[in-house]
Structures are given as structure tokens and as C-alpha cells.
């Protein structure tokens, strides 16, 4: 009982306190937990100045790593540290092709080549736009036969004993809720919707496991109210707090300021809000920014740390 309370206190402290580096990995291990858990693999952004991996998350079900959301730089290392298993994954969901959301995907695929996986693996990502590739082009230019890592082309054609990737491309222009994994009877269902992130085609994901739902907002400026409907009544809403309140110009076009994050969490009736995607510069006024979030949202607010495991049980 004492150990259980100790772990619970650690969880609460890790969620409540900012920059408590001891929290990384200190909470219950997701791979040893029953029920549904969210593990932060990467709580950072695109700047390597804070000891955080870039964006990546795992949804665990009864101690098995079932869904990977994003694979930014550092996800490869954290995936192993978390005890996640490529063979257990049902789906990889890529939100957009900024490096801090996708750069470690190929490294994880190569690692997975050494796993016990025998079945195909679903992967989803956005259509291309402007200088950004869509999922098919991204896969072709990396692991296609003529790609930079053509030796992994078996993921696309089944050669060499590699398992097939079943790619599903989402049109970010759509504000519909699009199923990307699992039929209506499947234990895990994932839907996607486009979100506004400057000129970058980007999508948010909603992962349903049993009666629990987790929404990953990805990078977005928060200006599209349709996202509030997409995220409605989620048990956990993960949002990226990247810019300060007074940001303007490109930064505001890419990211939602703290007050808008709080408004979205409140309007969508999120059960818990996880703030993530930090860099040194976005942590400068962290307490003030969280206060702006809380001004609008009075639910539980958790600060992401790499490897933090968050239970989503009743
Ligand atoms: Zn981005």
C-alpha cells in the first residue's frame, strides 16, 4: 500500500510540477500497467536545447504498446527506454512532416525489422502540400526502392521478409472525422481530422480504446472550431503549448497561444489536458502561460515530461 501511495504521489507531483527532471521515468511504467495509459515519449519540439525528445506518444493497453502517435527526433531512443515493442503496434499515426514529428520514423521501422512482428502495420499521415510531402511520397522517398533507405523497401512491397505497411493518407483539408484504423467493432478505433498549422498539412488524431478516448491535437493554431467538435468529451486531450500569449505573425499562424488552448480544452469538455511540445524558449514564462490556460479550463492539467506514464482508467 505504501509503495502504491508513493507511486501515486510521484504521478501527481510529476503532473503538477514543472521541470522536475526526476519525473522522467519515475512514474509507473506503462509496460507494467493494466488498463489504458498514455506515455509521453517526446515532450519537446524542434530545438535540441532542453533534453527532451521531439513529439511522440504511445497508447498502452494492458501493458502492450498499441498505437504510436508521431515519431519526432528522439522517439527512437525513448521507444526503447519505454519498453515499447514494434511487434505490438496496431497503428502508427503521423500528424505532419515537420522533422520534430516524423524524423525518427525510419529508424523505428529499421528497429522493428528485428522484432517478432509478422503482421502488416497500418500507418496514416497527411496528404502533401507546398514543400511538404504527403505520406505516400514520404515513404517512397525514404523506404521506396529508389529512396534514401531503399534497403527497407520490403515495408512497401513485402520483399526481404519485411511486413507490409498499410498506408492510409488523410486529406488535411477535410474537417470530417475520418477512420484510419479499426472497424466499428474493433477494440481500438482511430479517427483523424485536418487542423490548421500554417502552410503545413497537419492532422489530429482521436484514439478510442473501449470507452476511453484520447485526442492528440498536434501542432495547430486553434482557429478552427471544428476541432472542438472532433475533440469533444475526450478523456485526455494532448495539446502543444509552443508560443507565448502575445505571439503574432508566423508563430500565431502555426500555434495556438495558451489562452486559446484553455478555451479549446474547456469548450470540448476535456477530462484532462496534457500540455506538451516544449523548448527552452517556450518554457520561459511557463507558469504564467499555464495560468492563462487555467483561466479558461478548470479541469486537470498535466505537464508532459519524456517517459511520463498517465493512467486513463476509471
Ligand atoms: Zn509542426
CATH number (domain holding residue 47) = 3.60.15.10
Helix pair angle (258-267, 286-296), 10° resolution: 30
Distance (Å) from CA 233 to ligand 1 centroid: 25
Instruction: Give the closest residue to 150 by CA, choosing from 181, 109, 188.
Output: 109
Q: How far is the CA of 258 from the centre of ligand 1 (A)?
A: 16
CA of 194 to the centre of ligand 1 (A): 13
Q: Domain containing 164: what range?
A: 23-311
Is 11 a domain residue? no
CA distance 311 to 114: 29
Q: Is the separation of the CB atoms in 248 and 221 below 8 Å?
A: no
> Measured in angstroms, how far is the CA atom of residue 201 from the centroid of ligand 1?
9
Per residue in 258-303, pLDDT (tens digit) is 999 999 999 999 999 999 999 887 788 999 999 999 999 999 999 9
CA 17 / ligand 1 centre spacing (Å): 26
The Cα–Cα gap between 258 and 55 comes to 18
DSSP 8-state secondary structure symbol assigned to residue 162: P
Q: Are 311 and 28 in contact (CB under 8 A)?
A: yes
**Euclidean distance between the first and the last CA atom of the chain, given in angstroms as a whole number:** 19
CA–chain centroid gap for 24, Å, is 17
Q: How far is the CA of 118 from the centre of ligand 1 (A)?
A: 32
240 Cα: distance to centroid of ligand 1 (angstroms): 10
Domain assignment present for 226: yes
**17, part of any domain:** no
User: What is the count of structural domains for the chain?
Assistant: 1
Cell of 193: 481530422
Query: How far does the centroid of ligand 1 lie from the alpha carbon of residue 276, in Å?
Result: 13
Report residue 294 as a C-alpha cell.
487555467
**How is the beta sheet containing 36-42 ordered, strand by strand?**
165-170, 121-126, 91-93, 64-69, 56-61, 36-42, 309-311
Kindly give the distance from the C-alpha atom of residue 98 to the centroid of ligand 1, in angstroms, as a whole number: 5
Q: For residue 293, how many other CB atoms are within 10 A of its CB?
A: 23
In a domain, 6, yes or no: no
Distance 236 CA to ligand 1 centre (A): 21
Model confidence at 174, in pLDDT bands (50, 70, 90)? Answer: confident
Ligand 1 centroid–CA 158 distance in Å is 31
**Å from CA of 146 to ligand 1 middle:** 27
Coil, strand or helix at 224: coil
Residue 4: inside a domain: no
CA–centroid distance, residue 40 to ligand 1 (Å): 17
What are the cell numbers at 143?
Answer: 523506404
Does some domain include residue 8?
A: no
In angstroms, what is the span from residue 197 Cα to ligand 1's centroid?
Answer: 7
| pLDDT tens column, 3-56 | 333 344 444 444 444 433 334 444 568 998 889 999 999 999 999 988 999 999
Q: The C-alpha cell of 67 is what? A: 498505437
- Residue 89: strand pairing partners: none
pLDDT in tens, 212-267: 999 999 999 999 999 999 999 999 999 999 999 998 899 999 999 999 999 999 99
| CA pair distance 68, 270, nearest whole angstrom | 21
Angstrom distances, CA of residue 56 to CA of 53, 184, 207: 8, 26, 14
- Å from CA of 130 to ligand 1 middle: 14
Amino acid at each position: 500500500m505504501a509503495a502504491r501511495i508513493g507511486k501515486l504521489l510521484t504521478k501527481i507531483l510529476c503532473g503538477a510540477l514543472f521541470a522536475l527532471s526526476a519525473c522522467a521515468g519515475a512514474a509507473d511504467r506503462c509496460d507494467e500497467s493494466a488498463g489504458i495509459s498514455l506515455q509521453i515519449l517526446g515532450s519537446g519540439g524542434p530545438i535540441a536545447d532542453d533534453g527532451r525528445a521531439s513529439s511522440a506518444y504511445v497508447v498502452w493497453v494492458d501493458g502492450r504498446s498499441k498505437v504510436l502517435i508521431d515519431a519526432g527526433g528522439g522517439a527512437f531512443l525513448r521507444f526503447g527506454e519505454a519498453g515499447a515493442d514494434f511487434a505490438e503496434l496496431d497503428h502508427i499515426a503521423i500528424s505532419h512532416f515537420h522533422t520534430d514529428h516524423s524524423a525518427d520514423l525510419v529508424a523505428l521501422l529499421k528497429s522493428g525489422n528485428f522484432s517478432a512482428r509478422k503482421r502488416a502495420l497500418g500507418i496514416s499521415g497527411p496528404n502533401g502540400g507546398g514543400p511538404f510531402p504527403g505520406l505516400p511520397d514520404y515513404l517512397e522517398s525514404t523506404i521506396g526502392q529508389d529512396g534514401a533507405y531503399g534497403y527497407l523497401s520490403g515495408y512497401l512491397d513485402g520483399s526481404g521478409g519485411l511486413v507490409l505497411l498499410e498506408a492510409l493518407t488523410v486529406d488535411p483539408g477535410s474537417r470530417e472525422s475520418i477512420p484510419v484504423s479499426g472497424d466499428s467493432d474493433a477494440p481500438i478505433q482511430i479517427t483523424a481530422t485536418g487542423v490548421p498549422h500554417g502552410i503545413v498539412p497537419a492532422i489530429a488524431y482521436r484514439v478510442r480504446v473501449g470507452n476511453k478516448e484520447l485526442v492528440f491535437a498536434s501542432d495547430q493554431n486553434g482557429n478552427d472550431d471544428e476541432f472542438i467538435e472532433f475533440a469533444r468529451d475526450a478523456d485526455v486531450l494532448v495539446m502543444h503549448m509552443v508560443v507565448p500569449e502575445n505571439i503574432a505573425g508566423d508563430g500565431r499562424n502555426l500555434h495556438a497561444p495558451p489562452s486559446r488552448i484553455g478555451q479549446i480544452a474547456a469548450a470540448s469538455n476535456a477530462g484532462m489536458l496534457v500540455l506538451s511540445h516544449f523548448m527552452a524558449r517556450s518554457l520561459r514564462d511557463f507558469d504564467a502561460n499555464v495560468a492563462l490556460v487555467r483561466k479558461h479550463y478548470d479541469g486537470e492539467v498535466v505537464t508532459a515530461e519524456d517517459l511520463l506514464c498517465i493512467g486513463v482508467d476509471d
